[in-house]
Structure 1
């Protein structure tokens, strides 16, 4: 699995890693789906997605559908949150008040069962409740899921610096492309005006 220094806080990191089992690595620009391998290999599952074990109900089809819908939500393609609401209803989550740091009460979302799907959805519900869900985004270029830890929450790309000799920097590439487009438009404007 491709790694970037953009971990999400707490259990939301497990969700981010799950979403990134499908990716378009910057080095190859070819789609990769690692989820079938992880589902068929318990050691790989533990290594890459180890926080929660899989239950019998966590079939490859169910996991792929959940990943697709979570990705759509992160990409802003879940109109009126219909996809998330359908999954949350299906998971039958409950809410409990627990003490947090300093003794202040905090909501904790508890899944009805121990399936990976239910636990992932409990993490998503916690993130929505805490306001961190909106900071889980996907890169406009490579579609890598990352946690936006900027102060104003305006990050659009997974990174501005390439991750190695053959790596790509999605943000830099986008900015260079925009600069070249503006320069070409300006050149055409000058040419048309003479």
Structure 2
């Protein structure tokens, strides 16, 4: 199972990190290069393991909830991988919100009245959609991206939001950096084309 470190340099701010961790339950490991889906295994793990990974998110209680959460995860992964929403994304997202409505809650704070969003369901899928809506309001959602190589989701903290890969230097246990490998691949291709 993938180890998700909250001190990760690719971590997202606030509760958007929980969404990033969910998205990263599906990945392409560097050692096998075969897609891996750890969500069901994580749901079936101990309560403490679930809480360690997802802290405040409610744990799915049955197979149907896991199936719905997997569909939500996969749809959000598609949106993040495209990085630019299209009409299908909008339709898909509205459809999910009709299944898991989110309501505004108005409260009084020191700065005046504030609005928060709350899911009407206790399901994990509803909590995830609420976090995504909040991040859209804050302007952080568009900085959540997916590496074109390993497909891990990361939060782009670069000033112009131009980061493409999850990493450029080999500093992890896999000893692999998607950005460095992609640049080396391009360099070698260019070099071989110039030799011909």
TM-score by length of 2: 0.85
Cα shift at 1:10: 0.6
Measure, in 2, the Cα distance between the counterparts of 1:161 and 1:125.
33
Q: Give structure 1 stretches of 5+ with no counterpart.
A: 189-194
Q: Aligned pair 1:119/2:127, yes or no? A: yes
Q: Give me the whole-angstrom Cα distance separating, in 1, the residues matched to 2:3 and 2:19.
A: 15
**For residue 73 of structure 1, what is the aligned residue in structure 2?**
79
Match of 1:25 in 2: 29
SS at match of 2:105: strand
- Name the structure 2 match of 1:52: 57
Equivalent pairs counted in the alignment come to: 187
Aligned to 2:152: 144
Q: CA deviation at 1:23?
A: 1.2
CA distance in 1, matches of 2:195, 2:105: 62
Could you say what secondary structure the match of 1:75 adopts?
helix
- The separation in 1 between residues aligned to 2:100 and 2:108, in whole angstroms, is 24
Q: CA deviation at 1:59?
A: 1.8
Structure 1 residue 55, shift from structure 2 partner: 4.8
Structure 2 residue 93 is the aligned partner of structure 1 residue 89: no
Q: Is the 8 A contact 2:65 2:123 kept in 1?
A: no
Instruction: Tell me, in whole angstroms, the C-alpha distance in 2 between the residues paired with 1:24 and 1:182.
Output: 27
Matched, 1:63 2:69: yes
CA distance in 1 between partners of 2:113 and 2:13 (Å): 19
Contact residue 95 and residue 108 of structure 1 kept, 8 A = yes
Single out whichever of 13-22 and 85-94 deviates more from structure 2.
Answer: 85-94
- Counterparts of 2:36 and 2:14, CA distance in 1: 26
Kindly state the Cα deviation for residue 172 of structure 1 after the two structures are TM-superposed: 0.4
Instruction: Give the Cα separation in 2 of the matches to 1:129 and 1:17.
Output: 20
Change (3 A) 1:104 1:135: farther
Whether the 8 Å CA contact 1:53–1:116 is kept in 2: the answer is: yes
Measure the CA separation in 1 of the matches of 2:32 and 2:171.
Answer: 13
Cα contact 1:22–1:35 (8 A) shared by 2 = yes
Alignment gaps of 5+ in structure 2: none
Superposed CA RMSD in Å reads 2.2
